[in-house]
Amino acid sequence: MHNIPLLNLNDFSTDRKRFVEQLKTACSEIGFFSITGHGIQPSITTELRTQLELLFSLPQAEKEKLMITRNNYRGYVPLGFFTPNESGKPADQYEAYKLHTEISSDHPICSECDLYGKNKWPKQLPMFASTVKAYWAAMDHLSNQLLQAFALALSLPEDKLLPLFDLPLTNMTLLHYPPLGENQSGAGLHPHKDSDAFTILYPDKVGGLKVCHREGSWIDAVTDEGNFLVNVGDMMEIWSGGRFVSTPHQVINPVGKDRISFPYFAVPRHDCVISPLVEPLPGFERPDVPVGKWQAEVWRTNWADELPDDPVYDLGTIKN
């Protein structure tokens, strides 16, 4: 499978068996698929992109007033702030704004896990919060449909995964990749795999997203305008016992063009423990991983001077 397969979500209502079989194939062979028939109005993505262009056009000093901190991974991430945590590797060439599922600070769950809380909303952009929340609501709806389909693809009850996403640690990263010059090259985001259950992305038409095929070659992740891209994350790979693959991918900044991206990372609630929900494939061995601790470690190690202190978080595909 050298192209990103296209699935029509309408089939989930009209021909469920066909949709689930296509999902199973895409997730086991490449770990990526694009989706149409989702019913999300184009204005929702257009308006969000407009707000992001306004956000990243703010004066640098204004953006840095909203910066993330080690104790609160919400807000602005300056260009080149994060590195791949490998000696000698260049910093990623993007600036970003980080948001998480918003929970009132007086909600009881905040006393159970300090990853919950309120987001930072830029006061300079009065429409920013409402626009992001409208997009988030659309992604939540799409995510719930996909959770049902993923469960069926694993021969589980359709509602098996839904309760795990009650008060989730789902988050979004709003991204701006500046353009490369004619004689420049380099990664906007280094090769990596997502640590979530799955990611939903509305792709920028300028391109730049590359997916590593199982044979080792990098292919362009492209789809028609209006479609969304979805990829399997490490959590879904574990739930599937290695049947669904969490695939490495990277972003190469386009020459002469700004790239805007806003991935939605579907993550269960903090007290879930990720372990196979079906009999693992031969050779697939992963320890159980608690979501809250895992996510805290993922965010902590975004800082260049913070390295993973537990190999359990170094996840991958089936060992040879």
Angle at the Cα of 75 from the Cα atoms of 142 and 175, rounded to 5 degrees: 55
Mean pLDDT over all residues of the chain? Answer: 90
Q: How many CB atoms lie within 10 A of CB 225?
A: 9
5-48 pLDDT per residue, tens = 999 999 999 999 999 999 999 999 999 999 999 999 999 999 99
Residue 139 identity: M
CATH 3.30.450.40 fits 6-65+76-304, yes or no: no
219-256 pLDDT per residue, tens = 999 899 999 999 999 999 999 999 999 999 999 887 78
In the numeric block, the tokens 């992963």 are attached to 286
Angle at the Cα of 231 from the Cα atoms of 2 and 227, rounded to 5 degrees: 80
Asked if pLDDT for residue 319 goes beyond 90, the answer is no
Name, in order, each residue with C-beta under 8 angstroms of 257's C-beta and a sequence gap of 6 or more: 179, 206
Q: What integer pLDDT is reported at residue 233 of this predicted model?
A: 95
pLDDT interval class at 315 (50, 70, 90): very low
Asked if pLDDT for residue 314 goes beyond 70, the answer is no
104-161 pLDDT per residue, tens = 989 999 999 989 999 999 999 999 999 999 999 999 999 999 999 999 999 999 999 9
- 316 vs 205, higher pLDDT: 205
For the chain, domain boundaries = 6-65+76-304
Q: What integer pLDDT is reported at residue 318 of this predicted model?
A: 35
β-pair partners for 67: 76
